[in-house]
Amino acid sequence: MTNEILQHVGSQIKMFRKIKKMTIDDLAKVISKSKSTVSKYESGEITVDIVTLFDIAKALNINIINLIDYDYGGNAEIEQVHMWQSNVLHMYLQIGKDISSSVIHLKYDDTKKKTTATLYYKVDDNDDLKNCECVYQGYMSHHDNIINFNLKNCLYESESVLINFFVPIKKVDTLSGLISGLSADSIRPTSCKVILSKSPLPFEEQEELLQISKEAIKRLKTEHIFMVDD
């Protein structure tokens, strides 16, 4: 168990360091440790003392909780999107010609009576979520016909995203929704169509589902409202 915890903490340090675009040497200098020591922290070879953990969290501009959120398993209740009975969801969005894949993990927080959601944004490999562009954390709420995600960027608290999905009465394999936040390029308020799925989708299906309907474009022009309805 101890080795698993050390490896988890180390992998979290590595993930956020890479997202922050810091080298091991960069981080080592900021926390006044050797490059070799930081490398061993990340591989889980040695224990990180609590003071150093706070120093690392400060250097990475994250809450220390993001480094030590180890899941002990056991009888912890797992929250699910009930229509799919799944606590791991796949999300797709398109900017320009590029379609990106993201993964959302859900877990029920019994102390707060809420469902926590962790979004691994833009992953290249679903089996290697740590290699992502960014991590967002927050909460999911769902009702009969609505699923909402309210998330914050773990590195930059000034950035938050809201993701909304309408759930139809009939059983479906995917949901179309809208993500609203700040553009990474222009830092301007932006909204994009997104697709949510229980399982990974082939590229052709991603392309087809992410198309914006003529009706949605017409509504935007005439009513100044971008509504995802397909």
Q: What is the pLDDT of residues 113-131, one digit of tens each?
A: 888 999 999 998 888 888 8
Give the pLDDT confidence score for residue 198 in this predicted structure.
93
- 69 versus 202: the higher-pLDDT residue is 202
Residue range(s) in the chain whose domain bears CATH number 1.10.260.40: 2-68
Task: For residues 48-73, give the mean pLDDT.
Answer: 86
Give the percent of the chain with pLDDT over 70. Answer: 93
Tell me the CATH class for 88-223.
mainly beta
Task: For residues 2-22, give the mean pLDDT.
Answer: 89
Residue range(s) in the chain whose domain bears CATH number 2.40.128: 88-223
| 38 neighbors 28 (Cβ within 8 angstroms) | yes
Task: Give the CATH H-level superfamily of domain 2-68.
Answer: lambda repressor-like DNA-binding domains (1.10.260.40)
Give the pLDDT confidence score for residue 188 in this predicted structure.
87
Give the pLDDT confidence score for residue 75 in this predicted structure.
42
Confidence of residue 142 (pLDDT cuts 50, 70, 90): confident
Give the percent of the chain with pLDDT over 90. Answer: 59
Task: For residues 49-71, give the mean pLDDT.
Answer: 89
Task: For residues 89-95, give the mean pLDDT.
Answer: 95
162-192 burial: b if 16+ Cβ within 10 Å, else e: ebebebeeeeeebbbbbbebbeeeeeeeeeb
Q: Does position 71 have pLDDT exceeding 70, yes or no? A: no
Q: Does position 1 have pLDDT exceeding 80, yes or no? A: no
129-144 burial: b if 16+ Cβ within 10 Å, else e: beebebbbbbebebee
Alpha-carbon distances, residue 214 vs 203, 220, 226, 230 (angstroms): 22, 10, 11, 11
Q: Does position 228 have pLDDT exceeding 90, yes or no? A: no
Give the pLDDT confidence score for residue 4 in this predicted structure.
87
The predicted model scores a pTM of: 0.84
Mean pLDDT check: name the lowest of 9-18, 79-88, 94-103, 184-193. 79-88
Give the pLDDT confidence score for residue 182 in this predicted structure.
84
Task: For residues 150-157, give the mean pLDDT.
Answer: 89
